[in-house]
Amino acid sequence: MSVSAPLGNSNSGTKSGKEQGTQATSKTTHFGFKDVPEYEKEELVREVFSSVAKSYDVMNDVMSFGIHRLWKDQFVAKLDPGRRPGGEPLSILDVAGGTGDIAFRMLDWASDIHNDHQSKVLVVDINDDMLKEGHKRSLTTRYADGSRIEFKVQNAEFLDAVPDNSQDLYTVAFGIRNFTNIPAALRAAHRILKPGGVFACLEFSKVNVGILDMIYQQYSFNIIPLMGQLVAADRDSYQYLVESIARFPSQKEFAGMIKDAGFEISGEGYEDLTFGVAAIHTGVKV
């Protein structure tokens, strides 16, 4: 398995937002329902995901009754990644890729649907504990030799190890709501994509049926933190997760942010999944 440095030292592979100087101001942002100085959020988010890393995959299944798998399958099917006859293999960047759920699905799709055994995924994340779980998983797959998947610590707001105009596809699943500066991350996505490259985001969103939204809010705030406590002995991290979902912009607002970063969107630019519990947003760098 090829693992680009650094796994094992979250400070050596990429500068933090604080180090890059863009967040060392007195500005505040939200961390769940709390207001915190902008420069503190990255570390708080890192702590959450270090705390949940080992139980992350199991908890995803428990909390969503396995539905996150269907959403991820739908996301990958919509993107249909893979080399086309006569074309070049794809360079795919999976941002906030964590334990690699999206990356493995994309490689499986490219291999099984397009008979493409060359396209590659670079999985980046600020949290090397999550990446380590992904790396461990990769060793049990057909990608264990590391020629098609790499893991690297990177902050999505900078992507300082990813060259301009270098990627065919940028994916981010259930990651972007945790970023301190979402517009900066969208600009970084635009910078690293080739012209014609596709930005794709799968994220929790706003439920579009009133009664279902009421049930969903009850479930989110009363049951999920309790499950976090019982299954992962970590109520606080799961309380943050539900609060961060509630704070994320609506489908329309987020589509506007994608447009503002320079992407062309087609139609409304998004597709709701399960009545808007999650949504897929896409944009193209023209």
**Near ligand SAM by CB under 6 A: residue from 71, 109, 143, 174:** 174
- Give the nearest residue (CB) to ligand SAM: 98
Q: Are 213 and 207 spatial neighbours (Cβ–Cβ below 8 Å)?
A: yes
Q: At residue 175, what is the residue type?
A: G
> Does 128 count as an annotated binding residue?
no
- Cβ at position 87, least distance to ligand SAM in Å: 26
**Near ligand SAM by CB under 6 A: residue from 3, 90, 93, 156:** 156
**Near ligand SAM by CB under 6 A: residue from 3, 7, 45, 189:** 45
The H or E element that residue 169 is part of is strand 167-173
Residue 266 and residue 118: Cα distance in Å, rounded?
29
- Which of 91, 181 has the CB closer to ligand SAM? 181
Residue 169 and residue 197: Cα distance in Å, rounded?
6
- Which of 84, 150 has the CB closer to ligand SAM? 150
Find where tokens 């009363």 sit: 222
* Region of 170-178, 191-199, 205-213, 218-226 interacting with ligand SAM (CB under 6 A): 170-178
> Does 125 count as an annotated binding residue?
yes
3-state class of 67 per DSSP? Answer: helix
User: Which residues of this chain interact with ligand SAM, rule CB under 6 A?
Assistant: 45, 49, 96-99, 101-102, 125-127, 130, 155-157, 173-175, 178-179
